[in-house]
């Protein structure tokens, strides 16, 4: 029948119109596809920032591989610290992300960390010591790489901190041992350095720029300068008065660093209140009523202040302890001036056992920067 219509002027016009429509549809589809391809990379930066802040740890690790133009919007400093539970007997580990609305947990096995104590965490690296030998070593959670620290028979670490990742040239480790002596070690050095002083510390060690600070029992601020390895003490009258006023409750004291500034955190032993003070150069302390968009994470031997990843987490001080409900995390709200606990998260049976066993509970910076590192963690 097609042969009968061929040569008919009306049929030829109709066929040309159909071909034009087909070409227009194909052109429109290709143009639309091209526009769709351009829409994702051209998303406004503020929208991408909102997406990044709401990602779980797993999605955040995969986010950079989706689109190159999104990578500048990734802010590791704005990621929340995570609560790590490490069973000392066999290295069974669980990591909890407090910013996830789904209360996501991540399980992993780290037999190389069995019978070890976590002393400090920074940039995805853990500084640990073996219980039996007091030997120190670094461990990265994402790559599972290990870096040993020279052994010193006189160093029995009780508190420790380090300034930067162990593979960097400016990494300095400072240790306070059981005899209240201060030792320091710089990366690629073969020996430790003993500083000729003993202190009765009242807080944790905290790195701040090129210095390490520690609050002493008499209200003084001890400072170790990493460059020339000098130890100095500065009198803090206001801090001494605060300690005397809090002494009846036998509270705990912590030091935290944020944006180059030092902050003192006083935690009442009777859980009545938590007070935060900013330390000034002239020995003056200023009480901070509100943290704003900042969050403090407190562990047994460390305190970290960071930007709050969500508005909900701002003005909170998180502790490595669970609330009255099994599977919840304690925090102190600076707005309501009272303790509370987070919404229950999904808690597998293994995690129940972790809570009941002798474990390490510490807030860590996971530092997953790629899907590969995340897969290495959970393998």
* Domain annotation covers residue 153: yes
Each residue's pLDDT tens digit, 258-315:
988 999 998 887 667 889 999 887 667 888 999 999 999 998 889 999 988 778 889 9
pLDDT at 19 (0 to 100)? 63
Residues whose CB falls within 8 Å of the CB of residue 187, separated by 6 or more in sequence, listed in order: 166, 167, 168, 169, 170, 171, 172
CATH number at residue 370: 2.120.10
* Domain annotation covers residue 368: yes
- List own/partner pairs for 274-283 with CB under 8 A and 24 or more apart: 274/317, 274/332, 274/334, 275/242, 276/317, 276/334, 277/238, 277/239, 277/242, 279/221, 279/236, 279/239, 283/234, 283/235, 283/236, 283/237, 283/238, 283/239
Q: Which residue has the higher pLDDT, 73 or 207?
A: 207
How many domains does the chain contain in total?
1
Is the whole-model pTM more than 0.95? Answer: no
* Domain annotation covers residue 51: no
* Domain annotation covers residue 206: yes
Residue 77 confidence (pLDDT) above 70: no
* Domain annotation covers residue 280: yes
pLDDT at 192 (0 to 100)? 92
Domain that holds residue 243: 80-377
* Domain annotation covers residue 16: no
* Domain annotation covers residue 363: yes
* Domain annotation covers residue 296: yes
Secondary structure of the chain as H, E, C letters: CHHHHCCCHHHHHHHHHHHHHHHHHHHHHHHHHHHHHHHCCCCCHHHHHHHHHCCCHHHHHHHCCCCHHHHHHCCHHHCCCEEEEEECCCCEEEEECCCCCCCCEEEEECHHHCCEEEEEEECCEEEEEECCCCCEEEEECCCCCEEECCCCCCCCEEEEEECCCCCCCCCEEEEEECCCEEEEEECCCCCCEEEEEECCECCCCEEECCEEEEEECCCEEEEEECCCCEEEEEECHHHHHHHHHHHHHCCEEEEEEECCEEEEEEECCCCCCEEEEEECCCCCEEEECCCCCEEEEECCCCEEEEECCCHHHCCEEEEEEECCCCCCEEEEECCCCEEEECCCCCCCHHHHHHHHCCEEEEEECCCCCCHHHHHHHCC
Each residue's pLDDT tens digit, 17-61:
656 655 655 555 555 444 445 466 677 777 777 777 667 666 766
Each residue's pLDDT tens digit, 80-97:
788 888 888 888 888 887
């Amino acid at each position: 029948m097609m042969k009968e219509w061929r040569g008919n002027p009306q049929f030829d016009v109709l066929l040309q119109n159909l071909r034009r429509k087909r070409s227009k549809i194909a052109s429109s589809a290709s143009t639309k596809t091209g526009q769709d391809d351009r829409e994702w990379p051209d998303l406004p930066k503020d929208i991408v920032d909102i997406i990044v802040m709401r990602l779980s740890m797993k999605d955040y690790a995969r986010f950079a591989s989706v689109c190159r133009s999104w990578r500048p919007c990734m802010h590791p400093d704005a990621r929340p610290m995570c609560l790590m539970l490490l069973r000392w007997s066999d290295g069974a580990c669980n990591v909890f992300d407090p910013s996830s609305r789904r209360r996501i947990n991540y399980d992993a096995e780290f037999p190389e960390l069995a019978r070890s104590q976590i002393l400090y965490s920074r940039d995805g690296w853990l500084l640990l010591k073996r219980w039996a030998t007091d030997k120190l070593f670094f461990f990265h959670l994402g790559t599972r790489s290990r870096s040993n620290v020279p052994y010193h028979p006189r160093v029995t670490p009780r508190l420790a901190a380090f300034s930067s990742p162990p593979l960097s040239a400016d990494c300095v480790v400072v240790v306070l041992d059981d005899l209240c002596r201060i030792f320091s070690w710089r990366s690629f050095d073969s020996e430790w350095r003993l500083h000729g002083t003993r202190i009765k510390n009242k807080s944790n060690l905290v790195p701040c720029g090129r210095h390490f600070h520690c609050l002493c029992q008499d209200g003084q601020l001890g400072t170790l300068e990493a460059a020339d390895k000098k130890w100095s003490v500065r009198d803090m009258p206001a801090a001494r008065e605060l300690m005397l006023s809090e002494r009846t409750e036998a509270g705990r004291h912590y030091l935290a660093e944020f944006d180059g500034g030092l902050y003192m955190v006083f935690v009442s032993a009777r859980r009545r209140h938590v007070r935060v003070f900013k330390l000034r150069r002239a020995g003056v302390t200023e009480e901070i009523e509100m943290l704003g968009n900042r969050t403090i994470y407190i562990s047994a031997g460390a305190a970290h202040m960071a930007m709050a990843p969500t508005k909900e987490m701002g003005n909170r001080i998180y502790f490595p302890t669970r609330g009255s409900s099994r599977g919840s995390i304690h925090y102190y709200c600076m707005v309501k001036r009272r303790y509370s606990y987070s919404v229950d998260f999904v808690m597998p049976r293994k995690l129940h056992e972790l809570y009941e066993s002798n474990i390490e509970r510490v807030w860590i910076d996971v530092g997953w920067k790629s899907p590969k590192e995340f897969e290495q963690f959970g393998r």
